[in-house]
């Protein structure tokens, strides 16, 4: 009887450990540069997913990082911009539903361990490998850095690898532009582990499952929506501003009259509908269509004007952004609380990063004073000399 009880007890205990280990292996790291307020591209590309993952309860730890050190790599002469946007990004985070009780919100520069990790990882990456990174290439062009690239900017994929590995992240939910960064990180992890022994965790990218969300275009329809390009709809935008931006959006330039057949190819309004709209929106605002497919068919056939589609998109966006804007206004009333969240989060994050750094130093054999073996060995070496 007693033995049976013991076995059952043990099994229960193993199951618990198994569950804990399973859970412990799931950690999220992701973040944003404090170069402006967050926009709807961030929202569909990463933020919305982060909140879902946070609320799923499947992750042991979730680290959300405001990447100020990275923002300085191309804003070195404008520290005030970075400083001002720390709180803006934190407000946007919490307004979207990131909850400091469930997720650790941190500021990159307040975790100096990340710099040390970057410094060691630099030995594992070649200049030509960095030059091949397509996102860095595109960003160098966008910033007119071709003639003189700041070294810090050029090497930021390495610093991103430090951020991800410092927190032993298994999962990185980001937009498509971050794919080359994740690839670079995985290469560094492989190289590190093969040279110094199994130490770092290999992360997986988690892209949005909807094509339109991977790289939401700006309202100009040109490249991706990006703070640096000024083609954004911000999460905190007032209703009137949202409406104006939607009404000015790029559509099909050949769709001149309502009766003309329209094209969906590169049609920003439809890309946004792909990213935001659900069948329920049709019930509420456009009941003559059952879903987006029907609306698209009508547009392609001809007889559906851009203004009607834009008005619908405006309603969809207003519905999505209103609660975010309202929560943000509430949070704005208590900025000391926001500071407290970031301070506590950064302190907590530093503890995790310090543990990883200890493991990295030990693997790289630069833990001279915590390794009694070295002292013993060197003493032996000179005994009787
Ligand atoms: P910057 O112009 O300063 O680089 P940004 O607008 O590109 O700013 P980041 O802070 O670089 O924003 O990106 C933060 C996160 O948001 C990343 O995960 C990125 O993939 C995602 N993201 C940014 N813009 C978009 C977009 N237009 N569509 C989908 N995801 C996006
Ligand atoms: Mg960017």
Query: How far is 183 from 205, CA to CA, in rounded Å?
Result: 9
Task: Convert the pLDDT of each residue in 310-352 to its tens digit.
Answer: 999 999 999 999 999 999 999 999 999 999 999 999 999 999 9
Tokens of 50: 């982060």
Task: Convert the pLDDT of each residue in 184-214 to its tens digit.
Answer: 999 999 999 999 999 999 999 999 888 888 8
Tokens of 6: 């013991």
Tokens of 205: 């990218």
Angle 271-273-275 from CA coordinates, rounded to 5°: 75
Helix, strand, or coil (residue 31): strand
Average pLDDT of the segment spanning 117-141 = 95
Beta strand 171-173 with 204-206 is parallel
- The answer on 137 and 14 residing in a single domain is yes
Mutational test site, ligand 1, from 30, 41, 143, 276, max ligand atoms within 8 Å of CB: 41
**Taking a C-beta distance cutoff of 8 angstroms, is the pair 192, 223 a contact?**
no
When pLDDT is cut at 50, 70 and 90, the band that residue 25 belongs to is confident
Closest atom, ligand 1, to C-alpha of 173: 18
| Residue 4 clears pLDDT 60, i.e. is over it | no
Query: How far is 227 from 225, CA to CA, in rounded Å?
Result: 7
- The answer on 176 and 112 residing in a single domain is yes
Within-domain flag for 346: yes
The CB of 281 under 6 Å from ligand 1? The reply is: no
- Four-CA torsion 172, 178, 183, 187, nearest 10 degrees: -80
The CB of 41 under 6 Å from ligand 1? The reply is: yes
DSSP 97: T
When pLDDT is cut at 50, 70 and 90, the band that residue 2 belongs to is very low
Percent of the chain residues past pLDDT 70, beyond the cut: 94
- The answer on 341 and 321 residing in a single domain is no
- The answer on 244 and 367 residing in a single domain is no
Name the closest-CA residue to atom 20, ligand 1: 175
CATH assignment at residue 101: 3.40.50.620
How many domains does the chain divide into? 2
The CB of 42 under 6 Å from ligand 1? The reply is: yes
Within-domain flag for 321: yes
- The answer on 272 and 193 residing in a single domain is no
Name the closest-CA residue to atom 19, ligand 1: 175
Q: Which domain holds residue 115?
A: 2-216+335-373
Name the closest-CA residue to atom 13, ligand 1: 32
The CB of 217 under 6 Å from ligand 1? The reply is: no
- The answer on 57 and 9 residing in a single domain is yes
Question: How close is the Cα of 40 to the center of ligand 1, in Å?
Answer: 10
Within-domain flag for 155: yes
Within-domain flag for 226: no
Name the closest-CA residue to atom 5, ligand 1: 226
- The answer on 76 and 44 residing in a single domain is yes
CATH assignment at residue 299: 1.10.240.10
The CB of 275 under 6 Å from ligand 1? The reply is: no
Which residue shows structure tokens 């500021």?
Answer: 107
């Amino acid at each position: 009887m007693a033995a049976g009880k013991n076995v059952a007890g043990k099994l229960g205990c193993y199951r618990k450990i198994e569950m804990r280990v399973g859970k412990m292996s799931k950690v999220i790291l992701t973040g944003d540069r404090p170069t402006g307020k967050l926009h709807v591209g961030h929202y569909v590309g990463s933020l919305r997913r982060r909140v879902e993952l946070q609320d799923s309860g499947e992750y042991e730890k979730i680290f959300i990082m405001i990447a100020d050190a990275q923002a300085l790599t191309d804003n070195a002469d404008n520290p005030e911009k970075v400083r001002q946007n720390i709180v803006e990004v934190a407000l946007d985070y919490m307004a979207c539903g990131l909850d400091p009780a469930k997720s650790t919100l941190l500021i990159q520069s307040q975790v100096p361990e990340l710099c040390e990790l970057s410094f060691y990882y630099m030995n594992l990456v070649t200049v030509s490998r960095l030059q091949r990174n397509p996102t860095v290439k595109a960003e160098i062009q966008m910033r007119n850095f071709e003639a003189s690239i700041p070294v810090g900017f050029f090497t930021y994929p390495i610093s991103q690898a430090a951020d991800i590995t410092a927190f032993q992240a298994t999962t990185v939910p980001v937009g498509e532009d971050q794919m080359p960064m994740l690839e670079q990180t995985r290469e560094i992890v492989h190289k590190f582990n093969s040279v110094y022994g199994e130490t770092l965790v290999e992360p997986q990218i988690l892209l949005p499952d909807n094509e339109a969300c991977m790289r939401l275009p700006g309202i100009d329809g040109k490249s991706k929506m990006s703070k640096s390009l000024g083609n954004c709809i911000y999460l905190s935008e007032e209703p009137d501003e949202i409406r104006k931006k939607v009404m000015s959006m790029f559509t099909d330039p050949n769709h001149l009259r309502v009766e003309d057949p329209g094209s969906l190819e590169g049609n920003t309004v439809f890309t946004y509908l792909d990213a935001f709209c659900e069948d329920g929106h049709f019930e509420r605002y456009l009941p003559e269509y059952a879903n987006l497919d029907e609306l698209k068919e009508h547009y392609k056939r001809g007889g559906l004007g851009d203004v009607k589609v834009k008005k619908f998109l405006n309603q969809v966006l207003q519905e999505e952004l209103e609660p975010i804007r309202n929560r943000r206004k509430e949070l704005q009333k208590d900025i000391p609380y926001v500071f407290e969240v970031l301070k506590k989060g950064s302190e907590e994050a530093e503890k995790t990063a310090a543990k990883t750094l200890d493991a990295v130093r030990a693997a790289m054999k630069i833990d001279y004073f915590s390794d009694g073996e070295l002292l013993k060995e060197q003493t032996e070496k000179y005994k009787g000399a």
